[in-house]
Amino acid sequence: MKPVALVVLAALAFPSAASAHATLQRTGPSFRERVQVAPRTVWLRFDQAVKPLPNSIVVYTSRGRIVSAPAHRGKDAYRVAAGLRSLAADAYTVRWHVISGDGHVVSGVYTFGVRTAAPPPTEAYGASGPTRAEHVVRWLYFVALALLVGGLGFRVLVLRAPLPPRADRRFYLVTGIGAVATLQVGIVAFLLRAEDALQLPFGRFLYGDLSPIAGGTRFGEAFIAMTLGFALVTALLFLSWLTDRTAFLWPAFLLGLGFASGLSLSGHSAADAGSSWKSELADWVHLSAACIWIGGLVQLALVVLPLAPAVRRTAFLRFSTVATVLIALLLAAGTYLSILRLPHLHDLWTTGYGHVLLVKLGLVALALAWGGLHRLIAVPAVARGGDGLFARLPRSVLGESLAGMAVLLAAAVLVDSRPPPRPVSPPPSASQPSR
Amino acid sequence: MQPSAEHVHWLFATGFLILGLCLLGEAIVGSEVWRRRWWRAHLWPGILFLMGLLMWPVMTFYTNSTVHMLAHGSWAEVLTLAGGVELALVRGKLSSPWWRLTMALAFLVSGSGLLIHEQNGWLFQRSSFLHHLMGWTLVVGAVVPVARCIRPRSVAVGSTFALTVVVIAVYLYCDRDLAPVFGHLSPLAGVQHR
């Protein structure tokens, strides 16, 4: 027993130099650095001694040609380096693997540019995607966002009156599912994107360095901000349920809307040619309006119509008014973004992006027709005091919300697709007289 | 500019220490006395919930490997869940004592996370040893919250539960290199790595 106790005490008492597997601390050139003079070597510095392999550092040009020599130990045991051929102006991808002090192979990828801007690691040479799984995950993210932000929006904009206990519980259940799913699906989406960039088998992906993707790409920064933001929103939603104070729902709603902008600030509307603050704003308005509309329909169908008879008339009529404004915003922002991304009408049927947009427009038309029927038939009947309609209305409203979720699926594929390149305006001709 | 891993470990170790001492206080004086003041009733569940929330930034900012990110994420989720359930029990939003089993779930998930993310043997290095020790303490210790569901008034069960949390705090204090703050305690420690 004594030797065991001694080992335990020694292990607890003595500081150890190596505390986990190796972590990349510095590189030369650094992540996404644009250098004017072509470097002669690439070096990596870790926080502990590592063992290099011959293929520890492989540097690719943007066309996939290898320009690095076999890797070797650097100045000390913490560094690995590889010589480079004479590099032309281009973007370069560095893929690295070293054996950590604990015996694990740690891996990573980053980019740098010689007299040119380096792409984010998600667009490094060899990166793939987005895959079908990523389309589904993005769609689930949109649905979760609609349940959360739409549910909160419904409660603060449409239904301020207290709900019966059963309806109240279901409101928190549906919105809570949205909150938890937003966090979980966000993590899965980030890992899938990282896997596309790292291109590692699962066992090695577990030890892949995700920091260039988390800190060096718009997507990664949006992931960090949105995860933290929605964790806070979830906490506020929980506090509202815990204390029976709906006052917590206002900051939760506003924060949820604010952090949803992470998608707009990291997607096509922010990164593609021609993007500006107007395209980012339009994208955010488009997404927010869709979330509040679809999430509101779900609340109406699952919470208010079946479980809150005292407030269902008011809620239905008020939501109908709010939904009209939301649809107007949705269509205005969507039309602006479509014109921005598809400069020519024929792009709709000649490009893949246009095909997906056509499918989306078809589904939008279906959802709008469904909503129009509610507006033209159900709203006047409910306003006249016809209670008989409430028996069939939940199913019909749920149908409209499902049509809206189908629109979100098309939107998920659209977000992962690349819009056609914008036409480049020709430079002014030399023979043209200057004015 | 991120705080070093040592400081983050110590921050959570302090959280667990306060948590364990509160639980010990409740076990010794009894829940009726402990909960006479409303703030005291909310104290340790609130700390647990807050620790869960604080674990989310750890997950998002320490992404030097996938396995670490996933482990921190799972701890963030179970700490938030367990803290939230305990708060709901105190407030009367949940009434069944079986909800306390979420604490057992938190122990099991946290222990499994520690064991899965540490793939070296016990004696490979100090952090490996401590990860195994913490992992098995939590996995085996998951029976204590189960016993707490069955015998909620037992002083022995309550004290064991509290001391398990205190022991986890001590392990967490020891888990990282002491060198950057206290200086090298021994020449065996080697070169400072941060």
**B192 lies in a domain?**
no
Hey, are the CB atoms on B64 and A48 less than 8 Å from each other?
no
Adjacency order of strands within the sheet including A24-28 = A24-28, A41-46, A79-83, A72-73
Q: Alpha-carbon distance A141 to A130, whole Å? A: 15
What value does the mean pLDDT take over residues B43-67?
A: 94
Q: Alpha-carbon distance A153 to A155, whole Å? A: 5
- pLDDT of the residue at A47: 81
Hey, are the CB atoms on A241 and B174 less than 8 Å from each other?
no
**B194 lies in a domain?**
no
Q: Alpha-carbon distance A316 to A322, whole Å? A: 10
- pLDDT of the residue at A411: 93
Can you spell out the DSSP letters for A279-304? HHHHHHHHHHHHHHHHHHHHHIIIII
**B135 lies in a domain?**
yes
User: The tokens of B90 are what?
Assistant: 């105190």
Over the stretch A58-109, which tens digit does the pLDDT of each residue have? 999 999 999 999 999 888 888 999 999 999 999 999 999 988 776 678 899 9
Hey, are the CB atoms on B193 and A241 less than 8 Å from each other?
no
**B110 lies in a domain?**
yes
Give the minimum alpha-carbon distance from B6 to chain A in angstroms, rounded to a whole number: 10
Q: Which of residues 28-87 of B touch A (CB under 8 A)?
A: 49, 53, 56-57, 59-61, 63-69, 73, 76-77, 80, 84, 87
User: The tokens of A248 are what?
Assistant: 């917590």
Q: Are strands A51-60 and A90-99 parallel, antiparallel or unpaired?
A: antiparallel
Hey, are the CB atoms on B125 and A16 less than 8 Å from each other?
yes
CB atoms within 10 A of CB A166: 12
Mean pLDDT by 10 residues, chain A (435 residues): 50 43 86 93 88 88 94 89 93 90 81 92 86 93 97 94 94 98 96 91 88 88 96 98 96 97 85 83 95 96 94 94 96 92 86 92 95 92 81 91 95 86 58 39
CB atoms within 10 A of CB A364: 21
- pLDDT of the residue at A12: 43
CB A237 within 8 A of CB B86: no
Give the CA distances from residue A301 to residues A68, A246, A373, B78, in Å, rounded to whole numbers and listed in that order.
61, 21, 16, 31
Residue B179 has pLDDT above 70, yes or no: no
- pLDDT of the residue at A417: 83
Q: Which of B49, B63, B130 sits opposite A210 (nearest CB)?
A: B63
**B68 lies in a domain?**
yes
- pLDDT of the residue at B5: 81
**B183 lies in a domain?**
no
**Count of domains for chain B:** 1
**Interface predicted TM-score of the whole assembly (ipTM), two decimals:** 0.90
Domain that holds residue B128: 5-176
**B181 lies in a domain?**
no
Closest CA to A112 of A90, A134, A88: A90
Give the minimum alpha-carbon distance from B41 to chain A in angstroms, rounded to a whole number: 14
Could you tell me how many residues make up chain B? 194
Residue B183 has pLDDT above 90, yes or no: no
Closest CA to A205 of A222, A193, A221: A193
**B186 lies in a domain?**
no
Which pTM was predicted? 0.87
- pLDDT of the residue at B184: 40
Residue A83, SS3 per DSSP: strand
Hey, are the CB atoms on B126 and A19 less than 8 Å from each other?
yes
